[in-house]
Structures are given as C-alpha cells and as structure tokens.
Structure 1
C-alpha cells in the first residue's frame, strides 16, 4: 500500500529547511526539539531515504532533502488552496500594510502571493515609506500594520526577525580607503544611517555624506559604482559588492531587528490573519550565514 505523507511533518520539514536548524525551527513552530526530531524520523521512514546528513552536532539537508523541498511546498500550497476553495467562512475585506521599500522588494511579493492564494477575497494595500513615517501612520489609524526596522521610533513593534548588518563597498574599487570616507545612506530618520554615523564617530573616522536617499536600490547602485560605502542587511546583499570588517578598519554593526507594528484599534479576523501570516512567513525566511553572505557579495 502506498505511503501517505503527513502535511504537518512537511510543514515542520520546511521550517527546518528555511531556518537552517532544528532548534530554530522548533522555536518558530512552538514545539519541543524532541517532537521535531521525532517528526523528521517518521518523515524519513515514509520517504525511504535520509533527508538530513549528520556530522556530530551539525545537521544539514541531504541531496534528497533538497529534492523534497519543492514537492513539500507544492503539497502544502495545494492543501491551503483546496481548503480556501471550500471555506464558507472565507476571509474578506481590505487590509493596509506599510513597509520600507527594501523590505517590500525582498520579502513581500512571495509572502503576499501565498496569502492571496489562501484568501482570494482579501484586498491587501501596500504603502512604502520610512519606518518612522510608517509608525506615525499606524498610530494615526491610516495603516492596519507595518513591517518596520525596530528602533527608537518603533520601540513598540513586535520583533520577529534578526539578521546581521554589514558595511559594504564596490568589489573592484577601494572606496573604503578614501579619507574622508564617502557614505551613501538613507534619510536623516533612517535607523541604519544613525547607526553608521555613530559607529564611525566612535572611532574618530572622518566621513562625508555624498548620497542620501529613501530608495535602497538607488543607494546600492551608488555603492556598486564605487562612489560610496554604505550599510545593508545580510539578506539584501547583491553581486558586485564586498563586505568590510575589522580587517579593513570597520567595526562590527549591531543586528538589524525587523518588527511588526500594529494598529490594535482596527483589529479583525482578516487583519489578524495577515499579521500572523507575515510574522510566520518572514520570520521563517532563511538568511545566509556570514560565509554564504560573503560568497554572494563576491559574485
């Protein structure tokens, strides 16, 4: 008799694949690590092949584990779409969500597409702006929620994702050696801009701001052209840049924290569903480790 795959086991498997570890996956899906391990043993029994390779305490996806990922995603997506098609209590309405443009580019398309497949009657409106401006609009009741950089202006946001922040410069230029250091940074209210300037001032490194923009793509283009140094989150690294560290005279930067800011006065089932989906999906999206990030930057 043919084996039937357990969708719950597949969800756990994808949580491990996306987060990169059993421990983080267990935390993300609110289960014990032993329960996660048991699920994966049972899934391997059904697959009939090892989906993980174990080297001491390190666990990685095997070749068959990598092969399973797209099948697992398709099965779960079809399950969600099927349930949505027969759900008499289908969610509907309009939700307004704000996000900085770089988060909109990197994260939102996949997240919102998945939500739309399960909730076709929900209209999602996206507004792009700086985190501090989004916070004002949430508090004014203009937005239902906003994905923001967690900082002084958004201190009441719920942090659900952390990733390293790096100094970057053009790969084939020595922009970082210029004195004073040319910088391309966000608007005056940008948390990363404040962090970069404060860090340089703490080591008495002279700098000059040569490019300021709210648009992350414009800042990246300036860096790639060899005109300035900037700071960027690990998941936003692009080809043509290199990471600068202590060896080049650049101190480590604090972690980038991403949070969800809520307008609790506009809460309803539809808004709650999107908020939960954003936190779960974005919190589970993989971030390459430092070595992988350097590899991306060196392409």
Structure 2
C-alpha cells in the first residue's frame, strides 16, 4: 500500500531529522521523498512542513500527526500478523527475484519464518522480463524486479522499493582515492555491463557524457561476476551500487561515486495479487527492513 509507504517515509523524516537522511534510510532519491510528502500533504489537506529555502522542517501540523502515523503503521503491521495468525497461516507462495536482489529477499524471507512458521515461501531467480512474464502468467506470485518509473511498459502493480546509483568499482591497489573518474577510465582495462541491457545502455550513455574512451576487455550481465573480476584486478567497471552488498567493508573493492550522475536503477515489487495476504506479508517485511 503506497499510503503506508508514505507514512513510513514521514516517520523516517521525523526520526532522522531531514528529508535527505530519510531518503538514505528508505533507499529513495531526495526527489522521491519530496514527492511522497507533497502527496501526503494533499491527502491530509494541510501543509506538514515549513519550507524555507533549502531547509524543510516539520511544522506544528506535521508534528501533531506523528503519533497517529505511528499508530497506523503499527496497526497495519499488526493486521498482517493477526490475520495470518488467525488463519494459522500455512500458505505456500513463490517469489522471484533478479540475482542481484536475491540476497536481500532471501535474508528477509528467512526472518519471516520466526513469525510465520507455516508460511512457505519458495524463491526463484531470473531476468526482469522473464519474472514479469511469470507473474502475469500466474506461474509465480510476485517478484522483485528492475524497472524505472518513466518506462512506458511499467507493470500495473509495481511499487518501488529502493534505488541503486551508478558507481565506479575498482581494486584499491591501483586506485588513488583522489584520482578523477575520467582518468581511471582512460588508464585501466574496462569491464562493461552488457550493453543490450537497460543498465548497460545507461552505462554507455554515461561514458559518452564523460567523453571516456575505455579499453573494453569484456562485457557481462552479472554485477557479482564483475565485482569478482575487479577484486582480481582484471579491470575497473561502472555498475549499480548494490543496496545490500557490503562493498565498503571489502578490502579488495573501492567504490567511487561518479559526479553528475543522476540515473539510478530502480528495484521494485511486482505482483498480481493472487495471494494478497501472503505477498503483503513478504512485501511488508521488505519495507520494514528498508526503514530500519
């Protein structure tokens, strides 16, 4: 439910102090957080924030609904738990995911087993087009897929979970921290993201904007495989920064933001509602994990 997501974002702003901090915690862009809050204000029919220049703070009206917002979110979470408990929830569903998001999905499904031991979730992986087709055909119940809001073929029941910006991935042994991105792209072999994919097309567009002539050694459509080759010092790459990969703690990987890059890969939840309660439980667990 988009309204619950808006309230979670609203509470994240109250908890962390700024929209920027809330955007980071909710894995959304600052623009997406702003859009959610404007929608929430329209729903509430009143302004909830004082907007002065670049400073945006909760006003009295915003602070007055904090407890109600907490109560609504808590009631929603309780509703899912309560209905499932009343039915001694023993349903079985199949959830798909792209390979790069499978770790996030699997970890949260495992956590669900504590609260819902009778909920049997089978996981499967595939490409976004294949997963979307399987959901539409009723072969699986829902999927975590890659999409983007401006696409004309957006699934009707797709809700964005989090975003992943493009970053430069390199081995720290060859990468000075202060080296410009363009310089690194020129000096070292480049491992490309498959150009025919959505992400690969945006990487190609970025290289064009940077006027970078790279020494392409190979193309792959697996972020994990690219990261492993970077660890082995085969070359450098530009890939989406996986939201749930511990790259910052990896001594063999250096992650460098790319100035001026605005495109982000959007990861979302797609379903047709064949098992509405069971899929709502899983989706709610994912959203709760992002808000923590």
- Fold conserved (TM > 0.5)? yes
Give the match for residue 142 of structure 1: 139
Whole-Å separation in 2 of the counterparts to 1:162 and 1:87: 33
Displacement of 1:200 in angstroms is 0.8
Give the match for residue 184 of structure 1: 191
Whole-Å separation in 1 of the counterparts to 2:240 and 2:17: 24
Match of 1:268 among 251, 264, 276: 276
Pairing 1:231–2:239 present = yes
SS in structure 2 opposite 1:229?
strand
SS in structure 1 opposite 2:107?
helix
Match of 1:205 among 186, 203, 212: 212
SS in structure 1 opposite 2:284?
helix
Whole-Å separation in 2 of the counterparts to 1:133 and 1:22: 39
TM-score (norm 2): 0.62
Match of 2:201 among 194, 201, 209: 194
SS in structure 1 opposite 2:169?
strand
Please list, as runs of the form range in 1=range in 2, the aligned pairs for 1:234-245 lying within 5 A after superposition.
Answer: 235=243, 236=245, 238=247, 239=250, 240-245=252-257
TM-score (norm 1): 0.60
Pairing 1:34–2:42 present = no
Question: Are the counterparts in 2 of residues 168 and 232 from structure 1 also a CA contact under 8 Å?
Answer: no
SS in structure 1 opposite 2:117?
coil
Displacement of 1:147 in angstroms is 0.8
Give the match for residue 99 of structure 2: 101
RMSD (CA atoms): 4.2
SS in structure 2 opposite 1:172?
coil
Question: Are the counterparts in 1 of residues 92 and 120 from structure 2 also a CA contact under 8 Å?
Answer: yes
Match of 2:122 among 121, 125, 138: 125
Whole-Å separation in 1 of the counterparts to 2:255 and 2:154: 29
Please list, as runs of the form range in 1=range in 2, the aligned pairs for 1:45-64 lying within 5 A after superposition.
Answer: none
Give the match for residue 267 of structure 2: 258
Whole-Å separation in 2 of the counterparts to 1:36 and 1:213: 49
Displacement of 1:94 in angstroms is 1.5
Whole-Å separation in 2 of the counterparts to 1:122 and 1:38: 31
Displacement of 1:184 in angstroms is 2.6
SS in structure 1 opposite 2:95?
strand
Q: Determine which structure has greater relative contact order: mean sequence separation of CA pairs < 8 Å that are 6+ residues apart, divided by chain length.
A: 2
Unmatched runs of 5 consecutive residues or more in structure 2: 1-7, 27-32, 49-61, 69-73, 176-180
Displacement of 1:186 in angstroms is 4.1
Question: Are the counterparts in 2 of residues 199 and 251 from structure 1 also a CA contact under 8 Å?
Answer: no
Displacement of 1:165 in angstroms is 2.8
Deviation per residue, 1:245-272 (Å, 9 max, x gap): 56xxx652412321111134x2432233
Unmatched runs of 5 consecutive residues or more in structure 1: 1-11, 40-75, 286-299
Give the match for residue 154 of structure 2: 155
Displacement of 1:112 in angstroms is 0.9
SS in structure 1 opposite 2:87?
coil
Give the match for residue 281 of structure 1: 288
Displacement of 1:134 in angstroms is 1.8
Whole-Å separation in 1 of the counterparts to 2:240 and 2:282: 27
Match of 1:89 among 55, 69, 87: 87
Question: Are the counterparts in 1 of residues 185 and 212 from structure 2 also a CA contact under 8 Å?
Answer: no
Whole-Å separation in 1 of the counterparts to 2:124 and 2:153: 17
Give the match for residue 219 of structure 1: 226
Question: Are the counterparts in 2 of residues 92 and 123 from structure 1 also a CA contact under 8 Å?
Answer: yes
